[in-house]
Amino acid sequence: MSAPGTTRVEVLGAGIVGLSLAEELLRRGHDVRVIDPAPARGASWAAAGMLTPAAEVWHDEPALLDLGRRSLALWPAYAERLGVALRLEGTLLVGRDAADLQEVERQAALVRRLGGRVEELDPRGLRGLEPTLSGRVLGGVLLPDDPSIDPRRVLAALLERVPVQPVPTPGWAEVTVLATGATPLPAAYAERAGLPPGCVRGVRGEVLRARSDDPPARTVRGWVRGRAVYVVPRAGGEVVIGATSEEHDSPPVVTLGGVHALLEAARELLPGLDRAELLEALARDRPGTPDGLPLVGPTRDPGLVLATGHFRHGVLLAPLTAELVADHLETGRVDPATDPRRLRPLLENR
Ligand code: GLY
- Cα separation of 178 and 303, whole Å? 11
Mean pLDDT for 56-64 is 74
Q: Give pLDDT, residue 309.
A: 96
CA of 167 relative to ligand 1 center, distance in Å: 29
- Assess whether the C-beta atom of 152 lies below 6 angstroms from ligand 1: no
Q: Is the separation of the CB atoms in 221 and 100 below 8 Å?
A: no
39 lines ligand 1 (CB under 6 A): no
How does DSSP classify residue 273? Answer: G
From ligand 1's centre to the CA of 82, what distance in Å? 22
Q: How confident is the model at residue 85 (pLDDT cuts 50, 70, 90)?
A: very high
- Tens digits of residue pLDDT in 286-342: 999 999 999 999 999 999 999 999 999 999 999 999 999 999 999 999 999 999 988
Q: What confidence score (pLDDT) does residue 57 get?
A: 67
Residue type, 88: L
Query: What is the enclosing helix (H) or strand (E) of 317?
Result: helix 314-331
Q: Is the CB of 151 under 6 A from ligand 1?
A: no
pTM score, two decimals?
0.95
- Residue 243 beta carbon below 6 angstroms from any ligand 1 atom: yes
Helical ranges in 175-218 per DSSP H: 187-193
* Strand, coil or helix: 288: strand
Residue 184 pLDDT: 80
- What separation in Å is there between the alpha carbon of 153 and the centre of ligand 1? 17
Report pLDDT digits (tens) over 234-287. Answer: 999 999 999 999 988 888 999 999 999 999 999 999 999 999 999 999 999 999
Q: Is the pLDDT of residue 187 over 90?
A: no
Cα torsion 340, 345, 348, 350: sign: negative
The DSSP letter of residue 311 is: G
Which residue in 309, 227, 322 sits closest to 265, CA to CA? 227
Q: Which atom of ligand 1 is nearest the CA belonging to 205?
A: 5
| From 17, 44, 45, 50, mutation site for ligand 1 pocket: most ligand atoms within 8 A of C-beta | 50
Q: Of all protein residues, whose CA lies closest to atom 2 belonging to ligand 1?
A: 312
Q: Which atom of ligand 1 is closest in space to residue 242's alpha carbon?
A: 5
- How many Cβ atoms sit within 10 Å of the Cβ of residue 292? 16
Burial of 109 (0-12, 13-18, 19+ CB in 10 A): exposed
Helix axis angle, 314-331 to 16-27, nearest 10° = 40
Amino acid at 78: Y
Q: What is the pLDDT of residue 196?
A: 75
**Atom from ligand 1 closest to the CA of residue 48:** 2
Structural domains of the chain sorted by starting position, each given as residue range(s) with its CATH number in brackets: 8-48+151-200+290-348 (3.50.50.60), 91-145+202-288 (3.30.9.10)
Q: Using a 6 Å cutoff on CB, does residue 205 contact ligand 1? A: yes
| 32 Cα to the center of ligand 1, angstroms | 29
pLDDT in tens, 87-109: 999 999 999 999 999 999 999 99
Q: From the CA of 48, how far away is ligand 1's center (Å)?
A: 7
How far apart (Å, rounded) are the C-alpha atoms in residues 327 and 43? 25
Q: Compute the distance between CA of residue 99 and CA of residue 70 in angstroms, rounded to an integer.
A: 33
Is the minimum distance from the CB of 68 to ligand 1 under 6 angstroms?
A: no
In this structure, the residue with its CA closest to atom 5 of ligand 1 is 243
Q: Name the residue of 286, 289, 310 to mutate for ligand 1: max ligand atoms within 8 A of Cβ.
A: 286
Residue 270 CA to ligand 1 center (angstroms) comes to: 19
Gap between the Cα atoms of 249 and 227, Å rounded: 23
CA 207 to ligand 1: nearest atom: 5
Spatial contact of 178 and 305, defined as CB atoms under 8 Å apart = yes
As a whole number of angstroms, the distance between CA 117 and CA 112 comes to: 6
Q: What are phi and psi of 140, to 5 degrees?
A: -175, 175
Sign, Cα dihedral of 50, 287, 70, 85:
negative
